[in-house]
Chains A and B, each alone.
Chain A
Amino acid sequence: MSSNQSVLVLEAGRAERHYWRDLWRYRELFFFLAWRDILVRYKQTTIGMVWALGRPLITMLVFTLVFSKLAKLPSEGAPYPILVFAALLPWQFFASAFSGAGDSLISNAGMISKVYFPRLVIPASAVIVSFVDFLISGIILVALMIWYGFTPSLRIFTLPLFILVAFAAAMGAGLWIAALNVKYRDFRIIVPFVVQFGLYISPVGFSSSIVPEQWRLLYSLNPMVGVIDGFRWAILGGDTRLYWPGFMLSLSLVMLLLITGIVYFRKTEKTFADVI
């Protein structure tokens, strides 16, 4: 045993000085939890992989049919299925991370009331699970590009940056909903509503360029608008233009969401064990 052990002091309302170091120490738990959820998901379903691929594929087909064939909306030069799918990827990541994180603390209530670890690990690993699904669905996008003989421009190399933004948005919203859900259980009802409603107010089935110019800044108050536009800009290349004021607005809102999410989560996490 080392002689110079650090002394841990527990006091009411005392901020955890070693919180981030602790979080780093528990990184293995974080991977184990994500690994458990992925393993369990694919163990229980016989067609697990097919399910992860089928859902976005069917959604894409329906959206293409409705928005392109019936509503005859413009496709910005790229095949409409690719236009839809470039948006569906980040949207489904966000939606599943949001609802996954929202439920994560409640479904791990047993662990929270019996063991200490930085609680941030739980919603974060729920987001990771959704991220794995996101990567799997990415295969479809590649397949679509090959099918249509679509070659992306060099802008595709900026995609990781936009993935990072999508990650931040999912994490921020996920932390908020996770913490709120512990205290006020009615947020459980709000989650499916946000996910469903968000699909319509985000430019998933159509390009945000059809939104009239004077409304675009207002439209960008939805942080997912910036994320989706960024994805399209990176993937589709060509004529797609990024509406910079709107993107910057979305980006700042994502950052705000993430920072306030972390602050709120950290403020409430010490009482989780008492109320859960």
Chain B
Amino acid sequence: MSSVISVENLSKKYIIGHQKQEGYTSLRDVLTNGAKHLTDKLRHPFAVPENDPTHEEFWALKDVSFDIQQGDRVGIIGRNGAGKSTLLKILSRITEPTSGKISIKGRVASLLEVGTGFHPELTGRENIYLNGAILGMSKAEIKKNFDEIVSFAEVERFLDTPVKRYSSGMYVRLAFAVAAHLEPEILVVDEVLAVGDAQFQKKCLGKMEDVGNEGRTVLFVSHNISAIQQLCGSGILLRDGVMRETGPMDKVIESYLDDSTLIGKESIGDIPRARHDYGVIARFVNAWPVNSKGERTTSFMSGEDISFDLDIKAFEKVDSLSIVAGLDTYMDYRITTVLSEEVGMLFSGNKDAVISVNVKVPHLHLKPGTYALTLGIRRNKSPLDHVVKAIRFEVSEVSSSSGSYDSSKRGDILTESAWHLL
């Protein structure tokens, strides 16, 4: 086994201008700034030039090193702005690194966007050839795969229709189909599965799995943790341009979740809300998971009663508040949602009062794993606060279930059952 991609101390710096949004400059600015510097220099010839306050350095990647073996399927995860896309751009030779070195063995095809270069005026057939050429396929290769591409995209009837008349679903299917038939040794894919319907996404994932099974190397960036987990054996976690973790995918996902939940770090009252009108009238300030013995803890047994102590601060006199709690798996899959208004519980409080509430979910038969609680406050059906993944807890297997059957394969719920011989 030899490494096909070897990255050593890779860094990439961007200069951000604070004056304007665009990356490009205008000649006028260059001339006026140049003249200004010249006159400054003439007036104060011995002054030390100060740092230009309108420009700031930004390291999108800093000292990243890793090796990828042939046939690996590697998932790259991290929050927005962690440097994932920059890394892919450097690997696909779109932009060059500021320092560091990358050695790549074999042909790389990168798919950072579906339908790059598609022209709306051209027909499906013409776009297949054009897009294939842009992605680096030869005409002969495209011809060879043409029928397969068309049937994968399911656009047979519309081959000679300009793609501007396609539905967005057809457009994306066609675009992905072309890319899926690239035959490189290394395939680099960025978040392209965010588009298309569920069925097509499944098809795409399957295709990418095939690519990996053929001994080719796949690098995959996504926010869809379950897709990454399904597809990738190993992973890389980036945070603020620095590599935090690398190794088996499960371990990397674990660290990613540790990174993105806040238990023990700060109060949930401080978690930034998605909208600035959330948490203004009433706000969650604390939340703890509580076990059946009444202890605040984050580890539970499957089948145990789980309850949550919630503290809500009212910033004005409020009444008829309904509380919503949603339980998610760590792959962003919603298990269940409970609403206090459904059982006729509405809460009220005076200005600056803290309303403490406990909600109990008896006999939660979750399969072992990590779960997160998402909280919301509603008044007359309009949201007042919303905290995504406010707290996190672990569920482990009940010791008595000395099952010979692997519990991870038993489904999402490990329910009780009663058996009788009839």
Contact = CB atoms under 8 A, between A and B. Distances in A.
Interface in B99-142: 99-106, 108, 110, 112-113, 116-117, 119, 121-122, 126, 129-130, 133-136, 138-139
A110 interface: yes
B96 A270 contact: yes
A10 B98 CA distance: 10
Interface string A1-42: 100011111111110000000000010110011001001100
B116 A32 contact: no
Interface stretch (A46-54, A113-121, A213-221): A113-121
Contacts of A183: 24-25
B24 to A, nearest CB: 5
B102 A7 contact: no
Interface of B: 14, 22-28, 30, 89-106, 108, 110, 112-113, 116-117, 119, 121-122, 126, 129-130, 133-136, 138-139, 185, 215
A270 B95 CA distance: 6
Contacts of B92: 115-116
Contacts of B185: 1, 5
A142 B99 CA distance: 58
A29 B133 contact: yes
A10 B185 CA distance: 17
Nearest to B95: A273
A40 B94 CA distance: 27
8 contacts: A9-B104, A26-B136, A33-B130, A39-B126, A114-B116, A115-B110, A116-B92, A186-B27
A44 interface: yes
A8 B103 CA distance: 6
Given A9-B103, A13-B96, 11 more contacts: A8-B104, A8-B108, A10-B91, A10-B96, A26-B136, A44-B121, A108-B117, A111-B116, A114-B113, A115-B110, A117-B134
A185 interface: yes
Interface of A: 1, 5-14, 26, 28-29, 32-33, 36, 39-40, 43-44, 108, 110-117, 182-187, 270-271, 273-276
A10 B23 contact: no
A171 B215 CA distance: 43
Most buried by A among B90, B130, B134: B134
Nearest to B112: A114
A37 B136 CA distance: 19
Contact of A36 (B95, B101, B119): B119
A40 B130 CA distance: 13
Contacts of A29: 133-134, 136
B139 A12 contact: no
B122 A40 contact: yes
A187 B30 CA distance: 13
Contacts of B129: 32
A12 B130 CA distance: 31
Contacts of A32: 129-130, 133-134
Contact of A187 (B27, B106, B122): B27
Given A5-B106, A116-B93, A273-B95, A182 B101 contact: no
A9 B7 CA distance: 10
A183 B23 CA distance: 8
B117 A39 contact: no
A32 to B, nearest CB: 4
Report the 7 A-B pairs with minimum CB-CB distance, sorted nearest first: A116-B93, A184-B27, A10-B102, A32-B133, A275-B23, A29-B133, A273-B95
A28 B90 contact: no
A1 B106 contact: yes
Contacts of A13: 96
A115 B112 contact: yes
Nearest to A32: B133
A7 B100 CA distance: 16
Contact of A115 (B14, B94, B101, B138): B94
A262 to B, nearest CB: 19
B24 A40 contact: no
Contacts of B28: 186
A187 B26 CA distance: 9
A43 B96 contact: no
A274 B96 CA distance: 9
A39 B126 CA distance: 10
B126 A11 contact: no
B130 A36 contact: yes
A116 B110 contact: yes
A149 B2 CA distance: 73
Contact of A117 (B90, B98, B105, B136): B136
A28 B138 CA distance: 7
A144 B34 CA distance: 54
A271 B26 CA distance: 16
B102 A116 contact: no
Contact of B133 (A28, A44, A182): A28
Nearest to B140: A28
Contacts of A112: 94
A139 B89 CA distance: 46
Contacts of A274: 14, 23, 95
Given A182-B24, A270-B95, A111 B117 contact: yes
A275 to B, nearest CB: 4
A5 B113 CA distance: 27
Contacts of A12: 96-100
A83 B110 CA distance: 52
B244 to A, nearest CB: 23
